[in-house]
Amino acid sequence: MNFVSDRLKRIKPSMTVGINVKANALRAEGKDVLVLAAGEPDFDTPENIRKAAARAIEEGQTRYVPGKGTPVLQKAIQQKFLSDNNLKYELDEIMVGVGGKHIIYNAMMATLNQGDEVIIPSPYWVSYPDIVLLAEGKPVIVKCSEDQGFKITAEQLANNITPNTKWLMLNSPSNPTGAVYSEKELLELSSVLLKHPNILIMSDDIYEKIIYGSVKFTTLASLEPKLKDRCLTLNGVSKSYCMTGWRLGYCGAHKDIISAMNKIQSQSNSSTSSISMAASVEALNGTQDFISEHNKKFVLRRDMVVSKLNEIEGITCQTPKGAFYVYPSCKGIIGRKTKEGKEIKNDEDFMNYLLDKEGVAGVHGEAFGLSPYFRLSYATSESILEDACNRIAKACKELT
């Protein structure tokens, strides 16, 4: 008997989740594995947020809550958009979901008709194409090379627009590359988008606050107000507030999109947890001091990893401007042979080799739509990162 729908057959499970499961299983077997594949900060949720959640439980905030967010959370999100992004969203233009991923899923389900195209610059976050496929849309992958900073250009955007284009996905700072779009780059994209009034833009700002040095974060709806009604500005507490397990994302968008997304939520998950909503109020309204503390640590780790990787023959690594990943090229490794005579044919072979040989788990670039690269997360301790880089160097030296 065939249990599975045709819709589901179109997609594959998340590769990053799969690699983490494999690495953790090896660890459980007693193997010495360093996992640099996770997409989450290694810091605990700050104490003030944990306490707010505990208080919410004690106070009995344990019943059904509105799917679009409790009134106090909606106000906190409204204020966040205003003070951080200079974006004025009315309350009916704001909604909450079960993480940023769920917001993207809901948005695609609410807006895509069969065959509608979604332009996805690659390297992309692994879930974008599969969510689009699940919603019966057609992902249009646009490869953005390293020499263009892994970012889509206005020319590439213009060349990939068709009468069926419904969405453009933008993610800055980016997972997996850490690339950040400048104001100038976003304005160039805007000038193309203004000529095509039917295209919506998903601005995935989930790494907004994990950005380094003097690099400035900009979001499209705020930079080009004429596009505001066509932008879905996505954010969430997962990354900046170390709350990946709490499952809360939010967005601002045109009220018709929000209302359609709420309709889906009302007939599916109803809402995210009332406790997560209470905790997120504290995250958004409470002290933000720990964010710069975390970023200071991330910068030290990033610089160490970039410099150590660049010392390895066959690997080159740019310095990312945000998020907590590096996306080095392993072009110089492809074609080399292991001691056992097995050729490293692509980035997936290289990642399997590193995992089997030295117990280092990263994610191959193909999972993000651009090879030959690999993603390492530096959201882990400096000692683990140093150990991992030394092991990668050792493994590469053994290749001939």
Smaller CB separation from ligand PLP, 125 or 353: 125
What is the phi/psi pair of residue 279, to 5°?
A: -65, -35
CB of 125 to ligand PLP, least distance (A): 4
CB of 115 to ligand PLP, least distance (A): 25
Whole-number Å distance between alpha carbons of 221 and 189? 12
Whole-number Å distance between alpha carbons of 251 and 337? 48
The secondary structure of 87-99 as a DSSP string is ----GGGEEEESS
> Are 56 and 49 a contacting pair, CB within 8 Å?
no
CB of 395 to ligand PLP, least distance (A): 27
What is the bridge-based pairing of β-strands 231-236 and 200-204? parallel
Instruction: Give the SS3 label for residue 207.
Output: coil
Whole-number Å distance between alpha carbons of 115 and 123? 22
CB of 100 to ligand PLP, least distance (A): 3
Smaller CB separation from ligand PLP, 111 or 171: 171
- Residue 308 burial (CB count, 10 A): 18
Smaller CB separation from ligand PLP, 104 or 330: 104
CB of 341 to ligand PLP, least distance (A): 37
CB of 248 to ligand PLP, least distance (A): 7
DSSP H helices in 195-254: 220-223
Smaller CB separation from ligand PLP, 99 or 129: 99
Residue whose C-alpha is closest to residue 140's, from 102, 233, 124, 153: 124
Smaller CB separation from ligand PLP, 101 or 166: 101
Smaller CB separation from ligand PLP, 115 or 245: 245
Interface positions with ligand PLP (CB under 6 A): 39, 99-101, 125, 171, 175, 204, 206, 236, 238, 244, 249
Smaller CB separation from ligand PLP, 121 or 372: 121
The secondary structure of 254-292 as a DSSP string is -HHHHHHHHHHHHTTT--S-HHHHHHHHHHHHS--HHHH
CB of 104 to ligand PLP, least distance (A): 7
CB of 127 to ligand PLP, least distance (A): 7
Smaller CB separation from ligand PLP, 189 or 379: 379
Smaller CB separation from ligand PLP, 175 or 271: 175
> Are 186 and 363 a contacting pair, CB within 8 Å?
no
- Residue 397 burial (CB count, 10 A): 11
CA 59 → CA 72, 275, 280, 381, distances in Å?
A: 15, 11, 16, 37
Whole-number Å distance between alpha carbons of 310 and 318? 9
CB of 53 to ligand PLP, least distance (A): 17
C-beta nearest to ligand PLP: residue: 99
